Amino acid sequence: MHMKKGILYFLLLLLILFIPTKTVDLIIDKEKINDKEEDLEWVENPSQDSTEVFEIPKITKPTNTSTSSGTNWWEYPNEIFTTKRDGNDLLVLVNKQYKLPSKYAPSDLVKASNSGIRRGENYSLRNILIADLTRLITDSKADGIDLSIVSGYRSYQTQVNTYNYWLNKNNNNVALVDTFSARPGHSQHQLGTVIDFSSNEIGDRLGDEFANTNANKWLINNAYKYGFVISFPKGYESITGYKFESWHYRYIGVEYAQEVVNSGQILELYLQGCNP
Ligand SMILES: [Zn+2]
């Protein structure tokens, strides 16, 4: 028994150490290499962004992951396609069916702090949204609202890391993790146009408690005026494939955001219409 485990560790180590060009595709089972985690800093960030920070959201586990008949809302479809629009296109549909190429990274990443958002020095966002975000931050402050950023651009490689982290935390319960964490290539964060917001009202933590803040109420009423739309609204899990995330907003530009509001559709359905 011990021999077998020893051999397994050894093979895993060999794999990690000697096939570095393949790391992008590797899903490491950290459960089996727990005591070696310190030595296995295998993740590298190939993007130009060296300031990515991986925040850990505090979320409650969904209660209904053990149902049911037919397809479950968090499941990935059998057929996965590459996104129909380019990653730089503000209206590109990225979801559980359409994934970004692993090599895609935005070309205009800048520090989020250019907008004046608190904690922005730790994160990158696309320059294309900075002017509107600057207005958003200025106007929200004037209304007595505090907003901070707790996640922005995440590279494909960081998403590999993020998804594996959650698998590890949840005994490799894929069904559970798929309800709240995107698999690599499927994350909107790879676009560089997504912000996970927090506030000093909740100590800049990331997670469900954001829903009860004044900052959240302000965003619900105003975010679209600055081009931002919530991606995973409450009650639409079966359409988005994700648990409600009050903090996760995607920038699509002021005109399109206004169109989403006028249409009465959620972002996911609006973008499906733009990516037939
Ligand atoms: Zn997010």
Neighbours of 263 (CB within 10 A): 11
Where are the domains positioned within the chain?
1-42, 46-63+72-274
Can you tell me the mean pLDDT for 59-76?
A: 68
Please give the distance, rounded to the nearest whole angstrom, from the Cα atom of residue 11 to the centre of ligand 1. 35
2 pLDDT tier (thresholds 50, 70, 90): low
- CATH for 46-63+72-274 is 3.30.1380.10
The SS3 of residue 39 is: helix
pLDDT tens track for 112-148: 999 999 999 999 999 999 999 999 999 999 999 999 9
How far apart are the CA of 162 and the centre of ligand 1, in A? 11
pLDDT of residue 8: 61
State in Å: Cα 255 to ligand 1 middle: 22
What pLDDT does residue 146 have?
A: 98
Supply the mean pLDDT for the chain: 83
Is the pLDDT at 40 greater than 70, yes or no? no
Q: Is the dihedral of CA 235, 240, 241, 244 positive or negative?
A: negative
pLDDT at 250 over 90: yes
Residue 71: the pLDDT is 82
CB-based contacts of 184, cutoff 8 Å, min separation 6: 102, 156, 157, 159, 160, 163
Assign 57 a pLDDT band (cuts: 50, 70, 90). Answer: low
Q: Give the global pTM.
A: 0.78
In the predicted structure, residue 86 carries a pLDDT above the cut 80:
yes
CA 77 to chain centre: 19
Residues with CB in 5 Å of ion ligand 1: 196, 248
Q: What percent of the chain has pLDDT over 70?
A: 75
pLDDT band at 41 (very low <50, low <70, confident <90, very high): very low
Residue-level pLDDT at 234: 96
Task: Give me ligand 1 centre to Cα 249, in Å.
Answer: 7
Q: How far is the CA of 10 from the centre of ligand 1 (A)?
A: 36
CB atoms within 10 A of CB 55: 18
Write the DSSP string, 103-142.
Answer: T---S-EEEGGGGT-BTGGG-EEEGGGHHHHHHHHHHHHH
Q: Over 60: is that where the pLDDT of 43 sits?
A: no
